[in-house]
Every structure is written in structure tokens, then in C-alpha cells.
């Protein structure tokens, strides 16, 4: 499911009265932090370049991607306009990868069903580190950047 040429960065179809008022929460996993740090920088840079102020971007860390759902659930109470969950799960020799990927994707979907605040899924689920690098500032762009735009678009519903 490549996103080459599929992600639309333009915000013109969305009604966003004042970008500087948007408050965005970000929850980031420490596992594979070389990758998640790049996703985080991509997201923060993109938010700022769209007029969101640094003081309205709140970054919270969790140990691994499995903890993203709990981390996002806790900050739902803070009334952000959108939340971005950032993680990187890389396939190993066991089934652990499948459990983490399905738990975090289902958990974040559940938060979107139950709460009024959009939670953006920026979790790479890759077969190896090369794939993750290619998607966190490499030849396939930076999924953190796309997540930032998705967060702004979804915030317009609130």
C-alpha cells in the first residue's frame, strides 16, 4: 500500500479559521527512537510551517508502540484539536510484531470511535529498518509530515 503520489498536502478543501489556535498533542514511542525521532521532527516542522505555534504542540513519550493507545487515551482529557500517535514496529523472528501492530491499530481506531478528538495513526509497521528509514525522511518521504497534515485536516471537524 504505497502512498507515493497519493497523499494530498493541500489544505484548501478544509475549513480551518485560525491555525495558530490549534492545539496538537503528540505521543511518541521510544522503541526504534532513531526512526521515531525523525517522524516527530517531520511532524513538528510541518505543523509549524502551517502556522501552528510551538507552544501549542505538546510532545509526550511512551516506552513502546504498545503503550501509544494508553498514552493517547490519557491526553484525550486535555482537549487537543488532534492527537498524533508516532511509533515504529519492525518485524522480528517471532509473532510479537503481529500482536503489537494489531493492538495499536485497533486501539487507536477504538479511540477514534469513542472520543471526539481525532487520533492520527503514524505508526510504521515495517519488515526491516531500511523500510522504516525510507519512510521517515528517506526516499518515500516522512510519514510524520503526512501525519501532521492529516491532524490539521481532521482538526477542522472539531
Active-site residue, from 14, 33, 70, 96 = 96
127 has catalytic annotation: no
3-state secondary structure of 86: strand
Using CB under 6 A as the binding rule, whether residue 96 contacts ligand DLZ is answered as: yes
- Residues in contact with 19: Cβ distance below 8 Å, sequence separation at least 6, in sequence order: 50, 51, 52, 152
Using CB under 6 A as the binding rule, whether residue 121 contacts ligand DLZ is answered as: no
CA–CA separation, 55 vs 121, rounded Å? 22
Q: How far is the CB of 149 from ligand DLZ (least distance, A)?
A: 23
Using CB under 6 A as the binding rule, whether residue 125 contacts ligand DLZ is answered as: no
Using CB under 6 A as the binding rule, whether residue 31 contacts ligand DLZ is answered as: yes
Cα angle 88, 94, 98; round to 5: 50
Using CB under 6 A, list all residues that contact ligand DLZ.
29, 31-32, 63-67, 87-90, 92, 96, 100
Amino acid at each position: 500500500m504505497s502512498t507515493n503520489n497519493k497523499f494530498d498536502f493541500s489544505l484548501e478543501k478544509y475549513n480551518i479559521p485560525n491555525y495558530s489556535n490549534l492545539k496538537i498533542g503528540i505521543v511518541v514511542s521510544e522503541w526504534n527512537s532513531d526512526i521515531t525521532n525523525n517522524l516527530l521532527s517531520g511532524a513538528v516542522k510541518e505543523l509549524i510551517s502551517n502556522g501552528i505555534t510551538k507552544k501549542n504542540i505538546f510532545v509526550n513519550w511512551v516506552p513502546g508502540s504498545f503503550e501509544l493507545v494508553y498514552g493517547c487515551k490519557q491526553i484525550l482529557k486535555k482537549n487537543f484539536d488532534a492527537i498524533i500517535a508516532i511509533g515504529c514496529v519492525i518485524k522480528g523472528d517471532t509473532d510479537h510484531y503481529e500482536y503489537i501492530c494489531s493492538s495499536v491499530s485497533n486501539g487507536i481506531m477504538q479511540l477514534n470511535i469513542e472520543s471526539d478528538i481525532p487520533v492520527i495513526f503514524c505508526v510504521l509497521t515495517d519488515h526491516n529498518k531500511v523500510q522504516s528509514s525510507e519512510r521517515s525522511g528517506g526516499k518515500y518521504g516522512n510519514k510524520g509530515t503526512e501525519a501532521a497534515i492529516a491532524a490539521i485536516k481532521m482538526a477542522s471537524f472539531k
